[in-house]
């Protein structure tokens, strides 16, 4: 992708979204159920869309929420439902719609109590698990209203199961199918109550998400070592849902945290522009994070988080913004040597498109490596029972166990990953960037990149259903192919694409769920030139597969 001329620069007013127009579109535009693109569709992180495109409108949220209520009834989930929202403009109206339906269905609903009405994704997961601990009936579940790091005009709606994590595909498909039936029938039989009445309903309860989460942090992070170090910490809230969390954390644990962009601003006008010329609150992007990166020498360690605070971006004096894979490997290296309360056989969980340096770290530490398909839901069971010490995605999302080896959250947690960077720096006297350099001296320095290539719907369908036998190539970039995978090596679940492995590198190809492209993830331990050759041959292998299927 060609780098936009605005990349890394402050967002000009000309690209800011018109918030009143966006919110009006949420209420006024009606999705057409005969158009597949305008139906409810749950990806790896819930239903997402834009009101301007008739893909995220009030009718969608009415239908999805009613379907969730119906699912709860079918499964006899009769505990409270914890709901939280991020700071995207569409999250507020979607919350209003959802609460009207939840109250109409007499669902006990836990809404935010306190100064900030925004709730990070990990705080919802934490609340669900805390409530459900030690009980088998009357279980709680949750809804998170967020499109994650996507642009300001995006909307998102996600269902979390009683295990605290993103609902499995069989659940979300059931919910989506029923929601689309409601849409096709004009949303008849939706149980709904006016918002003012819903707020005052006996089933609507206020819950202190902030301090319930904050006071528990000492059970997963060594807050004392951070406090005693007197590190100067920089926290860029990026105007996200955790903007009301960093000050209580700093005050409660007496940490030296300087807070930035700690106010909701739905156009996100304070952002620097991402590589494609859009405003995107992607804390793993050096372009979106350029403002904080410029301040790297001001802090001993700094970080930013995306709007729902399930992702992290770590900025160090030594390296600037750490590549997510680099920080994941450092976090794993540190945690599995410093968490004595974890099970001896607790595994390192990674998605199959994460860096192979993680494989080398796990092998050196004598830890089992569990490679799973893309999607945090694949880590949930392992985190719940303690068989996974850590679960991480290449897209800067991760969570890990408490000090005693029990579950913390079963959704990604950008807050603990940020605080972990401070703990690592305080404990080792080295920032994570320096520690990653030491890892490369021990294991080699991989070069990693993700690119997109064009693919139509038929081609994406072929890629999604490939079998290893359909890949005829025997080598990639001069190296013999050692594995052709269409199922994850750990749990044998379908990966929805292809991964090809050699001794010195690998590539994975997966179709996009929202665009006419497929994604190529690739890594080389022999340098950039070798990586480019892997990428080139990866596209050739995929193209040959398309030709063989006449698409």
Q: Longest C-alpha distance within the chain, in Å?
A: 68
* Residues annotated catalytic, as ranges: 148
Amino acid 515: pLDDT:
73
C-alpha distance from residue 503 to each of 222, 372, 507 (Å): 38, 20, 12
Q: What is the pLDDT of residue 313?
A: 98
Residue 467: pLDDT band (50, 70, 90) is: confident
Q: Report the CATH fold assignment for 17-212.
A: Alpha-D-Glucose-1,6-Bisphosphate; Chain A, domain 3 (3.40.120)
Strands (E), 75-185: 81-85, 109-112, 141-145, 154-160
pLDDT per residue as tens digits for the range 241-254: 999 999 999 999 99
Share of the chain above pLDDT 70, in %: 99
pLDDT score at 245: 97
Three-class SS state of 138: coil
What pLDDT does residue 114 have? 63
Task: Average the pLDDT over 388-396 and give the result.
Answer: 96
**Confidence band, pLDDT 50/70/90 cuts, at residue 514:** low
Predicted local distance difference test score (pLDDT) of residue 470: 85
Domains 215-443 and 447-548 share a fold: no
Report, as an integer, the average pLDDT of 436-450. Answer: 96
Please tell me the distance from the alpha carbon of residue 402 to that of residue 328, in angstroms, as a whole number: 17
Tokens of 388: 């996974």
Q: Output the pLDDT for position 47.
A: 96
Task: Return the pLDDT at 113.
Answer: 86
Residue 471: pLDDT over 90: no
SS3 214: helix
Residues 141-164 have a mean pLDDT of 97
pLDDT mean over 73-80:
98
Q: Band the pLDDT of 504: cuts 50, 70, 90.
A: very high
**Between vectors from CA 407 to CA 404 and to CA 413, what angle results, nearest 5°?**
115
Burial (CB count <10 Å: 0-12, 13-18, 19+), residue 370: buried
Q: What CATH number matches the domain at 447-548, 3.90.1070.10, 3.30.310.50, 3.40.50.11290, 3.40.50.2300? A: 3.30.310.50
Q: Find the mean pLDDT for residues 120-143.
A: 98
Give the residue-averaged pLDDT of 313-332. 98
pLDDT number for residue 10: 97
Kindly tell me if the per-residue pLDDT of 240 is higher than 90: yes
Mean pLDDT of the chain: 96
* Structural domain spans, the chain: 17-212, 215-443, 447-548
In tens, the pLDDT along 333-386 reads 999 999 999 999 999 999 999 999 999 999 999 999 999 999 999 999 999 999
- In this prediction, residues 192-208 reach a mean pLDDT of 97
Candidate from 59-63, 404-408, 472-476 with smallest mean pLDDT: 472-476
Position 115 pLDDT exceeds 60: no
State the Cα–Cα distance between residues 146 and 17, nearest whole angstrom. 17
Is pLDDT above 60 for 452? yes
**45-92-419 Cα angle (round to 5):** 55
**Backbone dihedral angles phi then psi of residue 378, each to the nearest 5 degrees:** -75, -15
Sorted by sequence, the CB contacts under 8 Å of residue 528 that are 6+ apart come out as 447
CATH architecture of residue range(s) 215-443: 3-Layer(aba) Sandwich (3.40)
| Long-range contacts formed by 338-341: CB under 8 A, 24+ apart | 338/427, 339/389, 339/400, 339/401, 339/403, 339/405, 341/402, 341/403, 341/404, 341/405
Q: What is the mean pLDDT of residues 63-83?
A: 98
* pLDDT tens digits for range 252-294: 999 999 999 999 999 999 999 999 999 999 999 999 999 999 9
């Amino acid at each position: 992708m060609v780098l936009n001329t605005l990349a890394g620069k402050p967002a000009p007013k000309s690209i800011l979204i018109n918030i009143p127009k966006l919110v009006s579109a949420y209420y006024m535009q009606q999705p057409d159920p005969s158009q597949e693109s305008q139906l409810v569709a749950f990806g790896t992180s819930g239903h997402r869309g834009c009101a301007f495109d008739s893909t995220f409108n009030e009718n969608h949220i009415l239908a999805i929420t009613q379907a969730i209520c119906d699912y709860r009834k079918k499964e006899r989930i009769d505990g409270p439902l914890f709901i939280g929202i991020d700071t995207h403009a569409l999250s507020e109206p979607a919350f209003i719609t959802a609460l009207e339906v939840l109250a109409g269905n007499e669902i006990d609903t836990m809404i935010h109590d306190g100064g900030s009405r925004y709730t990070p994704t990990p705080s919802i997961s934490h609340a669900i698990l805390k409530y459900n601990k030690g009980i088998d009936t009357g279980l709680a579940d949750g809804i998170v209203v967020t499109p994650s790091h996507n642009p300001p005009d995006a909307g998102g709606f996600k269902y979390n199961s009683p295990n605290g994590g993103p609902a499995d595909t069989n659940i979300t498909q059931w919910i989506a199918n029923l929601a689309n039936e409601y849409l096709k029938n004009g949303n008849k039989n939706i149980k709904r109550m006016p918002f003012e009445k819903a707020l005052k309903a006996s089933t609507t309860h206020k819950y202190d998400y902030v301090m319930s989460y904050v006071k528990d942090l000492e059970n997963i992070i060594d807050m004392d070592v951070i406090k005693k170090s007197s590190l100067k910490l920089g926290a860029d809230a990026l105007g996200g849902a955790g903007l009301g969390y960093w000050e209580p954390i700093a005050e409660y644990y007496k940490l030296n945290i300087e807070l930035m962009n700690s106010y909701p601003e739905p156009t996100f006008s304070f952002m620097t522009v991402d590589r494609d010329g859009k405003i995107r609150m992607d804390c793993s992007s050096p372009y979106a994070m350029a403002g904080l990166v410029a301040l790297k020498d001001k802090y001993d360690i700094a970080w930013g988080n995306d709007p729902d605070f399930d992702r992290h971006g770590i900025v160090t004096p030594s390296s600037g913004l750490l590549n997510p894979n680099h920080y994941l490997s450092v976090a794993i290296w540190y945690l599995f040597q410093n968490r004595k309360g974890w099970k001896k056989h607790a595994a390192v969980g990674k998605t199959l498109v994460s860096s192979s340096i993680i494989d080398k770290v796990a092998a050196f530490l004598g830890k089992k490596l569990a490679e799973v398909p893309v999607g945090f839901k694949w880590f949930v069971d392992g985190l719940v029972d303690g068989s996974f010490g850590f679960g991480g995605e290449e897209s800067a999302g991760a969570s890990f166990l408490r000090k005693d080896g029990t579950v913390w959250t079963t959704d990604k947690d950008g807050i603990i990953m940020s605080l972990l960077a401070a703990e690592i720096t305080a404990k080792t006297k080295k920032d994570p960037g320096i520690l990653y350099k030491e890892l490369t001296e021990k294991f080699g320095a991989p070069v990693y990149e993700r690119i997109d290539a064009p693919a139509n719907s038929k081609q994406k369908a072929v890629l999604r259903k490939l079998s290893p036998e359909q890949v005829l190539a025997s080598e990639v970039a001069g190296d013999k192919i050692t594995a052709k995978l269409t199922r994850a090596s750990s749990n044998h679940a379908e990966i929805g694409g292809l991964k090809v492995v050699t001794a010195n590198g690998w590539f994975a190809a997966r179709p996009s769920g929202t665009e006419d492209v497929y994604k190529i993830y690739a890594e080389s331990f022999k340098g950039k030139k070798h990586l480019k050759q892997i990428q080139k041959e990866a596209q050739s292998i995929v193209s040959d597969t398309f030709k063989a299927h006449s698409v």
